Structure 1
Amino acid sequence: MTLAVEAKAPALEDYFGLSDAELHARIEAARRELGTRLVILGHHYQRDDVICHADYTGDSFKLSQLTVERPAAEFIVFCGVHFMAESADILKPGSQKVILPDLGAGCSMADMASVEQVEDAWEQLTEIGLVGDFRVMPITYMNSTAAIKAFCGEHGGVVCTSSNAVPLFDKSLKEADKLFFFPDQHLGRNTGVKFGIPLEQMVVWDPFKELGGNTEEQLRNARLILWKGHCSVHGRFRAWHVDQVRKEVPGIKVLVHPECVREVVEQSDLNGSTEFIIKTIAAAPAGSAWAVGTEVNLVNRLIKQFPDKHIRLLAPDLCMCATMYRIAPQNLAWALESLLAGAVVNQIIVPEETARWARVALDRMLAIK
C-alpha cells in the first residue's frame, strides 16, 4: 500500500470540535461541489451518520461490482474497511483514486491470515505431496489482504463472499478435489455442510502449528481445509442466544449470517449474506418477529426501516464492528474537503503486480452467477 498525502490537506484535528449538524452540512456541501468527480461507497455495517452520505450501499460483494460502474468518477471514497478499499483499487475501471477516510479501519479477520502464513501452508502441503497428488484450490474470503487475493489468482484460486459462497462452492467442488479456504473457518464450514460434506472431512489449519495441527492422513482425507480464523462480531453469537430468544418470543424467526459458528447456524431458521438478510426482512409479512444475528448498525437500521415488523438483535450485548466504526463524519468531512483543496489523503494503492493477480481471482468471482 502506498499513501499519498498532500501538504495542502486541512488538519484532521480541526474537525473534532464541530457539531453533528455542521459536519453533515459540510459533507453534503463538499459532495455537491465535487459532483460527478466523486462516488461514495458505504458498507451496510457503517454507522448511520456516515452511510447517509453514500451514493451506493451494499455488502463487500455488491460494492465490488459497483466499483466498475462509475468510470467517470475521479475519486472513490470507500466508507468500509481496508480490504474493501484495496478491492476497489484493484477493480477500478480507470485511473480513479480510492480513498479510505481512516486508515485504521481494518478487519480483525483479515489480520488472522498473512500472505507469508498462506505461502508457508501451501509449501507444507506441497512438500507432503498433497498439492500435486490432488487438485487443491485456494479460496480466500473477501475479508483478506490484496496479497492473499493475488496468491489465489496465481494458484488457480478465487475470491469468495458470503453472497456467492454457495454458487462458488458448487463450481469449485466440481473442479477440485480439495478446497483450501481462508481466513474464515465458519463460512467455509457452513457452506460445506450445505453441499453434504461431513464434518469429518473438514480440518482446521492452525498457522502456528506444523501441518496446521493435522496429520498427513487427516489432510489427505479432508475435502475442506479451513483456516483458523473468524469474525470478531459474528463469533460472539452463541447457541444459547437462540434458545433464549425463542423462550422470550414464541414463534420468532432466527436469521443469522454464515460467519456465525456452526451451532448457531444449525439452530437458526435461515442463514445468508448481509444482502440476503436485508431482502428476507423486507419480504417478511407485517407483524412477523425476527431475531437477527449480524452487526448491530445494520440491525438497528432494519428496525427503523421496517417498523411494521418486530426485529431485534439476536444477542443481548452489543455486536458492533469496531474497526468499521472508526470511520466517523469527521474523517469523511476531512477527506472530502481535502479533495476540494486539491489534496488526496489516505489513498489506497495496491502494487501493480499484486493487483494484476488479485484481479484474476476477483474476476473469477465476479464471473460466477
Structure 2
Amino acid sequence: MTKQGDPMNSVAMSSAVTPGVASALRTVETEAAGLAAVQVCLAGDMAAPFEAALETIAGVKGRLIVTGVGKSGHVGSKIAATFASTGTPAFFVHPVEAVHGDLGMIGRDDAILAMSWSGETAELKGIVAYSRRFRIPLIAITSRPSSALATAADTALVLPRAEEACPHGLAPTTSTTMQLALGDALAVALLERRGFTAGDFRVFHPGGQLGAQLTHAGDIMHSGDRLPIVASGTPMSEAIIVMSRKGFGCIAVVADDRLIGIVTDGDLRRHIGNDLLDRTVDEVMSRNPKTIEPETLTGKAIDMLNEANITALMVVKQGRPVGIVHLHDLLRIGAA
C-alpha cells in the first residue's frame, strides 16, 4: 500500500516498476517540493532581500565573486558561470585558496555572494572578514537566518528548510537544487533588467552548437549569383534548368522584385505530366512560402524547417528575396 505523497500515487506507473525507478521518482518529488517552497518564499519573506541583492549586484562597478565550500562550492561555481555568460562579470573564488593569497583577486569595487546551507562554514570566515574590513558588499545564501554568515551579510537570502532526497538526510540534494534555482533566478532577473539580448549571449558563446544556433541567417545565406530565382511568367522548361543549376531543390518566383511563390521538388512531383514543361512557374508554384529575414537566428530557422518538413528557406528583406538558407548550411556550421 502506498502512502500519501508517495510518487506511486502522483505518477502513472507500470506495475513492473523497478526499485531504482521508484527511488528516482521519490528523489525528483522531494526536490520538486523544495523548489515549490522556494517559490513560496520568493513571493513572501524573500522578496525584499532578493530585490536588494539584485540592486547590489547590478550596481557594482567590478565583478561578482561567488564563494562556497563542498557541494555549495560546486553549485557556486556553476552560478558564477551562469552570471558571466549572461552579462554579469563573475567568477568563483574558493574560500580556502582565498586566505592563501587569492583574496588579492577581490577588489573593492566587487561584491561577494557567499553560499553555505548551514551558514556556519568555518572556511568562509576569512573571506567574510575581508569583505567587512574593506566594506565589500556581501550577499549570503543560507538556510539559517541567525547563522554567522547571515548575520554578517549586508543581504541574506534565507532559503526554507526542506527534506533532503537522501534517505539518511545527509547528502546535499534538495538543498543544492534550491541553491542552484535561486542563483539562476538572480542571474535571469539581472539579464532581463539589463536588456541582455540573444546577440549579446552569442558574444559569450561563440563555440559549439549553441554558438552556431545564435548565428544569423544573413551570415550563412547564399546570395547574388547563387540565389535561385526567376520572374513570374517564366516557362517551367527554363525554371527547371535554373533550379538544377543552382542545386537547392527549389526556386523563388518574383514579380516586381518581390517574392510571390516558390517552386520545390515537391511541386514538380505533384505536377508531373506531359504538359509540365509547357506551364509557367505561376501555375506550379506554392504561394506564401516560409521565409526568414537576415537577422533571424539559425536556431529559429532550424525550428521552421523541422516544423514545415522542408529543406530550405528563402531569406527576404521587405518582401524581396536576398538569399537562401539550406539545411546543409545549418549542418555545416553545426547548428543542426
TM-score range, shorter chain: under 0.3
Which one scores higher on RCO, CA 8 angstroms, separation ≥ 6?
1
Scaled by the length of structure 2, what TM-score is found?
0.25
Scaled by the length of structure 1, what TM-score is found?
0.23
